[in-house]
């Protein structure tokens, strides 16, 4: 039964992204569909997705398999990227946007407004990873009973 290896992480990633929409709706008192496709914010769907892949591989192939080693390193890279690299890109966007607003005598319409919230805070990545692990275990148990 190979299909849970593909289906479970997709379900987990989508569920986590939907959770992001619901949490934002609760906070802002309105549903914003753009949060279905946006990166950053609570919880990290990237972290949930890659932790789900690693958990599925660990369950079906074992923790001593080459596939597990590759998925573990892949997960580390994705989570590191979300925490460090994309967060710094957001900080740079914030600075560039401020410069464009404050520099006199430039045509502001020639500059795109950069997103300032691209990466994740550590808690967002942690919650995404925990959510990814728990949902994956639940779905593995569910698929095993089918």
Chain segment 118-140, per-residue pLDDT in tens: 888 999 999 999 999 999 999 99
pLDDT number for residue 2: 65
Average pLDDT, the chain: 90
Q: Averaged over 40-48, what is the pLDDT?
A: 91
pLDDT number for residue 1: 58
The predicted model scores a pTM of: 0.86
Helix/strand/coil (H/E/C) assignment for every residue in the chain: CCHHHHHHHHHHHHHHHHHHHHHHHHHHCCCCHHHHCCCCCCCCHHHHHHHHHHHHHHHHHCCCCHHHHHHHHHHHHHHHHHHHHHHHHHHHHHHHHHHHHHCCCCCHHHCCCCCCCCCCCHHHHHHHHHHHHHHHHHHHHHHHHC
Position 41 confidence tier, pLDDT thresholds 50, 70, 90: confident
pLDDT number for residue 60: 93
Structural domain boundaries in the chain: 3-78+121-145
């Amino acid at each position: 039964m190979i299909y849970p290896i593909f289906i479970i992480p997709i379900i987990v990633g989508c569920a986590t992204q939907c959770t992001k929409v619901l949490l934002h709706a609760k906070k802002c008192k309105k549903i914003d569909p753009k949060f279905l496709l946006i990166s950053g914010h609570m919880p990290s769907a990237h972290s949930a997705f890659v932790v789900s892949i690693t958990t599925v591989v660990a369950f079906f192939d074992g923790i001593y398999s080459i596939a597990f080693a590759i998925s573990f390193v892949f997960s580390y890279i994705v989570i590191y990227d979300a925490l460090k690299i994309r967060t710094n890109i957001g900080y740079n966007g914030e600075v560039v946007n401020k410069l464009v607003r404050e520099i006199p005598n430039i045509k502001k319409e020639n500059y795109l407004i950069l997103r300032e919230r691209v990466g994740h805070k550590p808690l967002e990545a942690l919650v995404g990873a925990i959510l990814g692990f728990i949902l994956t275990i639940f779905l593995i148990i569910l698929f095993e009973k089918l």
